[in-house]
Chain A
């Protein structure tokens, strides 16, 4: 029996379909993104320090959501242990800057690299598990990293560390520098994800998501691709960890290795829309807004957001961005290929 897909493929070939990557809305995307980033860069001259610090929190959420989406939305790996790298990034910054006396703005990229290097052996352990067991396995690994941290006196053991080397700067400068660093981190995280997903690797992931066995027989190196994404995601989370440490100036093992970071990441990505570039950004903004708006309610905010995430998973799997973009018709950051003309509905993004 000829399957529906064969029929479609047949139909599109005979009708001279065109394949396009960019769309009009994606040029609009660039047109929006560049001025927005430039405007944001000017913010320290306009808004007060408290607001800048809040925006740094938002930026760290955007980076975390983008990295979790890279891992799960594209790589198919649900991790509940990315807090391991957040902690490594944060502790790395404080240790390298305060104890070893490196320039803090050099310590951040260095601790990102350290996190990336550590994630390689970790991936060999984690990749022995799949699906839900991979998720818990990453969590156990994060717990181990935390427990080891707590055994090291130089890292403050169970008490944690304060970041002091930024105190050489005046508070205004310090906050502005951290703000710019964080804005740059957002741009890097989004751009890296965007270009990764437009590369051969991204195409391979689309194939893996559709059919892992078939993709590997077609020469997509499934494990290599996954490992690469795992390492990139670890580095991105370490970057966010550095941002958080530079913003709050104080880290404890219980807070920086908290599994709540994983909860935040997962909820942001689900709410915004998994498997797109835009979704995690939207999700982070919505999450941040809800967090601020519901802050008087104590832990109820997490209950409300959690219920929202469950409802969205079941009834709106493309998330808010799917809703906004009309199920993928508007694409500010197109990472897939679109078949335009003649049969528009077959040209939908494959996720």
Chain B
């Protein structure tokens, strides 16, 4: 029964990982940037959550509504100020700039908030749960996280497939020069894509910062989890990312069930096994995203 419980908790955790991965996948899909600062940006959102909820006493959901647009604005500014310049330099520049940003931001968070672990307070919702059987409880908060993760994945997918701006993003991904001939400013599309990605990172940061005790360098793990979900699922498939997140989540919870110190290791080993035996991922690209 405890194994079943581990699997259920792992599936719920997978929703969080998919939420973490959505923005990474989106930025790569639209502009081929692997944003190495993805994890620490989620930590930035989490610390914003700490400030608004713990320090200023705002309700959790109100803080969420504030943090998401702030992060979107951060993404927009980052793209214009940093990534667009790096893209125009070409070569390794975008990757190196993203890495530099990750290190600088991590250290800045360390300076401002110290390396003491924090967590966003959510009150009773954080601990209340539904009892399914004698030994299995499903927490409301993990369930809510999972639902939000699925909705974000679905929402981004629908946006890319149907919305004019989403279509413009896919066209820009195919050919960033030619879209200019359609009256589309590819740099503006990039900025909007990063804004959207950072909005999902804002959500992800709020949820992970509430679920976990975190420190600035926790962003490293966030990046790795997001990356593993993307690769396990298959590049370019958002639904694959959800599946990847769930597999990673289950691997970690089942690993922890074997031995509490095995969680991360088993998750990583499952990732490496999939990389070795099915490098295209489980649900390879159906639609370019």
Contact = CB atoms under 8 A, between A and B. Distances in A.
Interface string A75-103: 01010100000000000000000000000
Contact of A299 (B93, B110, B264): B110
Contacts of A72: 92
A314 interface: yes
Contact of B261 (A151, A267, A299): A151
A78 B92 contact: yes
A310 B99 CA distance: 9
Interface stretch (A9-17, A22-30, A135-143, A176-184): A135-143
Interface stretch (B142-150, B199-207, B223-231): B223-231
B103 A306 contact: yes
A302 B223 contact: no
Contact of A136 (B101, B227, B235): B227
Contact of A314 (B93, B99, B104, B231): B93
A342 B124 CA distance: 79
B125 interface: no
Interface string A307-337: 1011001100100000000000000000000
A139 B224 contact: yes
A303 B111 contact: yes
Interface string B37-60: 000000000000000000000000
A128 B92 contact: no
B86 A80 contact: no
A232 to B, nearest CB: 19
B242 interface: no
Interface of chain B, helix or strand or loop or mixed?
helix
A125 interface: yes
A51 interface: no
A133 B231 contact: yes
B184 interface: no
A256 to B, nearest CB: 16
Given A80-B99, A132-B95, A300-B111, A314 B276 contact: no
B34 interface: yes
B220 interface: yes
B271 interface: yes
B281 to A, nearest CB: 11
Given A259-B220, A299-B110, A306 B100 contact: yes
A315 to B, nearest CB: 9
A317 B89 contact: yes
Contacts of B65: none
A35 to B, nearest CB: 35
A78 B93 CA distance: 11
B224 A143 contact: yes
A309 B228 CA distance: 28
Nearest to B91: A317
Interface residues of A, number: 41
B120 to A, nearest CB: 24
A119 to B, nearest CB: 15
Nearest to B224: A140
Contacts of A309: 96, 100
Contacts of A317: 89, 91, 93
Most B CB within 10 A of own CB, among A129, A270, A313:
A313
Contacts of B104: 302-303, 306-307, 310
Nearest to A262: B99
B198 to A, nearest CB: 17
B154 interface: no
A189 B18 CA distance: 42
A214 interface: no
Interface string A112-150: 000000000000110011011101110111011001101
A266 interface: yes
Contacts of B272: 125, 140-141, 144
A302 B224 contact: no
A128 B93 CA distance: 22
B100 A267 contact: yes
B49 to A, nearest CB: 23
Contact of B34 (A135, A298, A299, A313): A135
A111 B35 CA distance: 34
A274 interface: yes
A223 to B, nearest CB: 14
Nearest to B278: A128
A143 B269 CA distance: 10
A205 B261 CA distance: 42
A24 B144 CA distance: 69
A32 interface: no
Contacts of B108: 303
Interface string A275-311: 0000000000000000000000011101100110110
Interface of B: 28, 32-36, 82, 85-86, 89, 91-101, 103-104, 107-108, 110-111, 220, 223-224, 227-228, 230-231, 235, 261, 264-265, 268-269, 271-272, 275-276, 279
26 contacts: A72-B92, A125-B272, A131-B34, A132-B28, A132-B33, A132-B34, A132-B35, A132-B94, A133-B34, A133-B230, A133-B231, A135-B36, A144-B268, A147-B268, A150-B261, A267-B103, A274-B92, A299-B107, A299-B110, A302-B104, A303-B108, A303-B111, A309-B96, A314-B85, A314-B97, A317-B89
Given A125-B272, A133-B235, A317-B91, 7 more contacts: A78-B99, A140-B227, A140-B272, A263-B103, A266-B100, A309-B96, A317-B89
